Structure 1
Amino acid sequence: MNLKTTLFLLVMVAGVAGYVFFFELKNETTEQREQREAQSLRLEGSPLIDADDRPEPADVTRLELVIDGNTTVIERQGDGWQQTQPVTFPMQTFAVDRVCRELFELRLFERLDPGNDGAPTHEVARLAEPRALLRLHTADTTYQAALGRRLPGDQAYLQLNDHDDILVVDDDLHLAILDEGVNNWRATTLAAPTLAQTESLQIIPADSEPITLHNLGERWSLDEAGIQRADQDAVRDAVAALSRLRIEDFKADRPEDLARYGLDRPDLIVTSHRTAEDDTQPLPPLTLFVGGAADMETTQRFAAITRGDQPIDVVFTLRESDLTSLRPAVDDLRDKQVLAVEPADINAIRVQNRNTAFGLLRGADGVYRFGAPDPGYRVDRIVATDTTQQLARLEALGFATLDRVKAEIGSLEVSITGEEQPLRIRVCEPTVTEEDSEPRWLLIREPEPFGYLVDPAQLEALLAGPLAFKDRTLLALEREQITQIEMRLPGRVLIDLLSGEQQGTWTVNDEPADTQRINPLIDTLAGLRAAHWLTKDEQPTPRLTGDLSTLTVWAGQENQHAARLLIDAPTNAGTFEGDDAWFTLDPDTTAALLSEQRPADLIVVSPSDIRTITLSLADTTLNLERDPRGGITIDGTEPDDPAPAVRLIDLLSQLRAERLLAETWTPEPDAGLRVTITLADNSTHELQLTGIAPEGFLLPRNERSVIAVVNNKTVLIDGETFETAVGLMTNPQTITP
């Protein structure tokens, strides 16, 4: 077909369409038009109730539904709906409003005269005895709809009010009433009060004692007097658990035999009392009854709710997993915080232990001092602050009854801002049970009828006595004030550190000091603190003066003598010359104070400068050679794995001393492993690696450190060098570092 033919045919079709429109429709008779509009009405429908006369769901106050002779009544209560016949149960507002809306917004497709012109009779349309009868009451009108037979095409028969006509309408109302039913309109939550609305919550398990939680305004308690404090989060979880419950299915209305559902002897009863609002009468309490298992696996349980004295009307099912939070142990609901206060609210602590009594007082400026009797020294601010904070936030690891008290260790009286009387806490040693894997102390907060199990370490400082709070500041200097340090180590080693004219420069025995080594020493000395003060019984056994390390510090422009510190390195104990008070230092503090300050480089060469290394152990000798190209042989043979030999070369080329030792610690000549290093310029280095630390070693050291003699200097070096060398001697071909 060519283009001209196609265009001709299109013009002809347009002409025919125009003829039909202008001549046929224009000449349409009135009868034809009415038939066409009726056909359109049957297809699209029209509003059954005119929009001007149509009420809103909010105008409805009562709904009555009769099915098979059984009447259901639902009444509006406030903003919601409540089923009142034949049972009482809250309804979903949206679902009931939807039923009202479905009736008011029905679309009419056809109005039939029963039994005439081929229309069905009331009996055939199931309207003589309707499938359901719905009545909606507003303030001035009642709408009654009789629901008849369903029709194909999503339509159904309906009779409105007292009119005899049979109406063909959409079947949305039939779906909501006959397919979904009243049970689907019911609320699936319990409408339990919120935490703020709850006055009390009682939990009665079948197998344990009842628990009642009381809302006292600012806090919750396990008794009305407010003595047994409840954990706020645990209470919130329990109240929320009741609100979160979702009904799975409705099983029975007005059950005749509660035993069938295990509700004659409930497994759990939970009652929530709601607080009165705006001076009105309090609402009746909501009570949940949980009965027996609803399936073989006990994934669901039968349950029911009542309000006030209302009997059990409706039985439904709940998920067992949703009920877990409503079965707490009483200890799970207790407040684990022993004090539950802010540290700044603690004004005073009075401590009584088995031997002494003392008090800590906190001033308005936050500074602590001792109360009577005054021990004669200042309170350490850091220790007092940390202890107060720890006490304020002290939490129990568990709870115990008072019959577990074995012996009383001491007591605390804590004065708290806003409280008229101090809080008294007895500190006791509990009897040990099989459940106790670690030692515990039992704290009894009077007058509570139970005790808190806590870690003793959390209170040891308080119960130790006033000495634990003695000011631990030993030196309080600015680092720039320190001008000279004389360090005497065991074995008559004297190290003199002198500050240079230029700030921050130091010399060690007249040689430039290593800044990275001396700065930690200066920082530690300037703000030196004790870890603990020692009682006379705890002080170390007196030693010879030569066994102690001594640090003498000079400070200030006049270079005045500031202090002479004596340290027993093995025990980290220390004292000042002329003072009989002993203390302990943190191990890291001891290590910093006695750190090696003398030059530590023993061998500093490039690995490529090492030509041979000879290792001798007892009667065995091993020769390691390195050619100029980097190749390595051991006793003339290339090893399968050269990595251990390469590692040994790297370690020896940059060998540093961890500490220089006195000559009195020189090892036996034949002890350990001997190493001879020959360099490219034929110079040599001689080493003796013992693999041990001398007995009675009195200075801080690395646990892997070993004693060695390097070029006639007795030193400590890191143990990796010794381990790698011995490994090569043991298995030169396969050893790995």
Structure 2
Amino acid sequence: MRTKVTLVLLFLNVALFFFIFKFERDWRTERASLEARRRVLGSETADIRTLTLTNSTGTVYALKRTADTWQITEPLVWPANPTVVARIVSDLQFLDHETSFAVADLKANGQSLADYGLDRPKLTLEFSNGASPEGNVPELKTTVRLGDITKIGNRLYLLSPDEKRIHVVSRALLDSLALPIDQIRADTLLTIPVFEARSLRIQSTTRVALRRDGAQRWTFDTPIVARASTDETERTLSALGALRAKAFVTDGLPAALPSAAPLFRITIEGNNRRETLLLGAPVPTPPPDPRPIAPALPPTAPPPIVAPTTQDFYAQIEGRPVVFTVAIPTGEKSLKETLDRAQEALREKRVLDFDPRAVTALTLRAPNTPGDPTLTLQRLEAPTNSAEAATWQIIRRDPGATAPQTIPADGPLVKRLLEQLHLLSAQVFASDAPTAADLERWGFARPEREITLVLTKLTAPTPNIPLSASDSQLTLKLGVANPPDLYAYATVTGSAFVYAVSPDLLRLGSNANPNAWRERLIRELPAGARITALKLTDLTTQKSLLDLTLDEAGNPPPDTPEAKNVLAAIAGLRALRAKAFPQDGFTDRVPLLGEERPWRYRLDASLALPGANAGAPAPITTLFLSERFGGTLQVAGSTEFNVVFELEQAMVDALWRLTFRTDPGPALPKT
């Protein structure tokens, strides 16, 4: 009997010791860990989906996260500022206390929650994490109460979610939560960036729709199918993205909401999303200030800085009931003007869409010029994709000739013409559907110019320039209105559009005369060649005006009069250039100032060419010269090159000093 009792007591002692060391030890460890842990909140902050902040009077604001986007649900429905919300969530996730103590210990110290402002907390924050997609894990809500500010250290009392501990934390959480609603809401209206935008629709009294294709080019879909200006369209998208909500309207709503009667309906489509801004009526202008106007600034004061003008409009975002105001820039070339004139303001003003590097030939035709001259300029072969280094030639088809004649063309002049054509822009969009009477009135029955470009594909295409898979042609027609006005009119074959353009291209850049496009460099001596002698003869008197033998360096004798001008003439002969070609071929008489005139001077230059035989006679190059007229005009001719041309000014000035250096000038009047 005693043995049985002893065994029972022994068993109970073992069970008691096991309980003490197994369970009570864990409780003490957990309590000590809780007191030592600084992090206030745990895993409940890992996936916060909702945030609700209330005070003694009710809800201050409520936030809800959908996917990765936070939205205000109270007091209005509006996107939240992601930066501000991220700061609140971060403050909750990394909230540490300076110290903490148990609520149960307050009574022993003669205190209560009221001493810390936690019986009726000034702010209460409730947040919830996400429920599992399967629905087997319910949504977990957590409530945190914020009390008074500590008297020392500028910290905050916070009651734990289980209401068992009071934490002393930094007041940074309070600063984040107590922001006004104006800072918590996002002020952006349209969030699709320019690079993501795929289409833009502007609907008012008319509907304008634009889309961006795979080559990143914008085109009109309605009301016409035409090219849009990529720069202007992207500038408009940037201006729309820069709009901000100025104020939210809760009282005094307009008679017609923007969603019911929008003045403009602006829709931007991006990657699988769309945003629409509805602009309503303008906000009424407040009455003028009755106070007297300040006196004008004194003349010495700097002029005041004039801010861009704007006009406030009521607005809504489609799908949101909130009405707000937005300031739209007004004035010339402003967003408001673009919206009013979207069909014209966003349209591509360049008439021709081509890459100058892709042009292999161009034809100039002047149907209204006697003889209907036609000129063809052809690009010669050049290194791949280096059209800038290519040379050009003129192809002439003279009457009676069995084969076309080729003449070197002035490359920089052709390049300038291509640039003019590339930049030719509409000053006015004359018509998108002209009638036959319109075309005749604008001179297209017999155009002033027809310019045809032959294009080929480049192996390295230029961005934003679409190129065909094979050679293609563009034909531009330029007409003049009857009666004439300030414009020339342009149209492209295959397109119905008519543009009013600057007439400069007709006056300066599209002459069909082959002489206007000839290479200005007539002859350039090789590096090893030199001029050994120079002789200038007056053909009227057969008198020699200059007869010099040059040294090995190409310099005249030291005592030569006008040596500086002799050197200038020698330089002009080494690289013989023309300012213009007044006629075809060399003739014994040259038309000047309305009459045929004989040549006045002859300039002979003896040459020493590299590789020439020592005993061979020195070749002589000869220029025939006219008199100088008006200080800038002097004509030269060469039988060697079968050409008559105008001299450049430097050569004209040098020859003037050589031909008239002994002229005493008019006699002085007798006194």
Q: Structure 2-normalised TM-score?
A: 0.67
RMSD of aligned C-alpha atoms? Answer: 4.5
Q: Cα gap change, 1:313/1:144 in structure 2, threshold over 3 Å: closer, same or farther?
A: same
Structure 1 residue identity aligned to 2:363? R
Which residue of structure 2 aligns with residue 135 of structure 1? 127
Structure 2 residue identity aligned to 1:242? L
Which residue of structure 1 aligns with residue 21 of structure 2? none
Counterpart CA distance in 2 for 1:195 and 1:221 is 12
How far apart are 1:415 and its partner, in Å? 1.6
Structure 1 residue identity aligned to 2:667? P
Counterpart CA distance in 2 for 1:390 and 1:103 is 62
Counterpart of 2:491 in 1: which secondary structure? Answer: strand
Counterpart CA distance in 1 for 2:150 and 2:216 is 62
Which residue of structure 2 aligns with residue 346 of structure 1? 359
Counterpart of 1:528 in 2: which secondary structure? Answer: strand
Which residue of structure 2 aligns with residue 163 of structure 1? 163
Counterpart of 1:522 in 2: which secondary structure? Answer: helix
Between the two proteins, what is the percent identity of the paired residues?
17
Which residue of structure 1 aligns with residue 334 of structure 2? 324
Which residue of structure 2 aligns with residue 200 of structure 1? 199
Residue 415 of structure 1 is aligned with which of 454, 467, 472?
454
**Count of aligned pairs:** 544
For residues 20-39 of structure 1, what are the structure 2 equivalents within 5 Å?
none
Residue 273 of structure 1 is aligned with which of 245, 250, 269?
269
Which residue of structure 1 aligns with residue 322 of structure 2? 313
1:506-551 deviation digits (Å, cap 9, x = unpaired): 259xx535543222111112222222222589864335548x3443
Contact 2:581 2:646 in 1 (8 A): yes
Structure 2 residue identity aligned to 1:406? W
Residue 51 of structure 1 is aligned with which of 39, 43, 56?
39
1:381-410 deviation digits (Å, cap 9, x = unpaired): 435543454346434373331378632312
Contact 2:449 2:506 in 1 (8 A): no
Q: Cα gap change, 1:560/1:176 in structure 2, threshold over 3 Å: closer, same or farther?
A: closer
Contact 2:378 2:395 in 1 (8 A): yes
Residue 562 of structure 1 is aligned with which of 596, 606, 621?
621
Unaligned runs of 5+ in 2: 1-33, 132-138, 289-308, 383-389, 399-403, 458-467, 585-589, 609-615
Unaligned runs of 5+ in 1: 1-45, 277-281, 599-658, 672-737
For residues 546-557 of structure 1, what are the structure 2 equivalents within 5 Å?
548-556=600-608
Q: Cα gap change, 1:202/1:568 in structure 2, threshold over 3 Å: closer, same or farther?
A: farther
Counterpart CA distance in 2 for 1:222 and 1:47 is 68
Structure 2 residue identity aligned to 1:283? R
Question: Which structure would you say has the larger Rg?
Answer: 1
Contact 1:350 1:412 in 2 (8 A): yes
How far apart are 1:378 and its partner, in Å? 0.8
Residue 495 of structure 1 is aligned with which of 522, 525, 545?
545
Contact 1:262 1:302 in 2 (8 A): no
Q: Cα gap change, 1:185/1:430 in structure 2, threshold over 3 Å: closer, same or farther?
A: farther
Which residue of structure 2 aligns with residue 218 of structure 1? 215
Query: Which segment drifts farther, 526-535 or 120-129?
Result: 120-129
How far apart are 1:349 and its partner, in Å? 0.9
1:637-678 deviation digits (Å, cap 9, x = unpaired): xxxxxxxxxxxxxxxxxxxxxx52447x5425527xxxxxxx
Which residue of structure 1 aligns with residue 49 of structure 2? 61
How far apart are 1:414 and its partner, in Å? 1.0
The alignment status of 1:292 with 2:282, answered yes or no, reads yes
How far apart are 1:131 and its partner, in Å? 5.5
Residue 579 of structure 2 is aligned with which of 528, 531, 543?
531
Counterpart CA distance in 2 for 1:294 and 1:169 is 49
Counterpart CA distance in 2 for 1:550 and 1:531 is 19
Query: Which segment drifts farther, 407-416 or 329-338?
Result: 329-338
Q: Cα gap change, 1:430/1:661 in structure 2, threshold over 3 Å: closer, same or farther?
A: farther
Contact 2:102 2:164 in 1 (8 A): no
1:574-617 deviation digits (Å, cap 9, x = unpaired): 2526699643333344223x13248xxxxxxxxxxxxxxxxxxx
Counterpart CA distance in 1 for 2:521 and 2:363 is 24
For residues 136-535 of structure 1, what are the structure 2 equivalents within 5 Å?
136-138=128-130, 141-147=140-146, 159-161=159-161, 163=163, 172-177=172-177, 179-190=178-189, 192-204=191-203, 210-224=207-221, 228-248=226-246, 250-252=247-249, 257-259=253-255, 265-266=261-262, 268-274=264-270, 276=271, 282-287=272-277, 289=279, 292-293=282-283, 296=286, 301-302=312-313, 304=315, 306=317, 310-318=319-327, 320=329, 324-325=334-335, 327-328=337-338, 329-330=341-342, 331-339=344-352, 341-354=354-367, 355-365=372-382, 366-371=390-395, 373=397, 376-382=405-411, 385-391=414-420, 393-396=422-425, 398-402=427-431, 406-407=442-443, 408-418=447-457, 419=468, 420=470, 421-430=472-481, 440-446=487-493, 447=495, 449-451=497-499, 453-457=501-505, 460-478=508-526, 480-488=529-537, 492=541, 494-507=544-557, 512=560, 514-535=562-583
Which residue of structure 1 aligns with residue 294 of structure 2? none
Counterpart CA distance in 2 for 1:183 and 1:581 is 81
Counterpart of 1:569 in 2: which secondary structure? Answer: coil
Contact 2:118 2:145 in 1 (8 A): no
For residues 686-697 of structure 1, what are the structure 2 equivalents within 5 Å?
none
Counterpart CA distance in 2 for 1:95 and 1:596 is 82
Q: Cα gap change, 1:443/1:488 in structure 2, threshold over 3 Å: closer, same or farther?
A: farther
How far apart are 1:197 and its partner, in Å? 0.8
Counterpart of 1:239 in 2: which secondary structure? Answer: helix
Q: Cα gap change, 1:58/1:91 in structure 2, threshold over 3 Å: closer, same or farther?
A: farther
Greater RCO, CA 8 A, separation 6+: 2
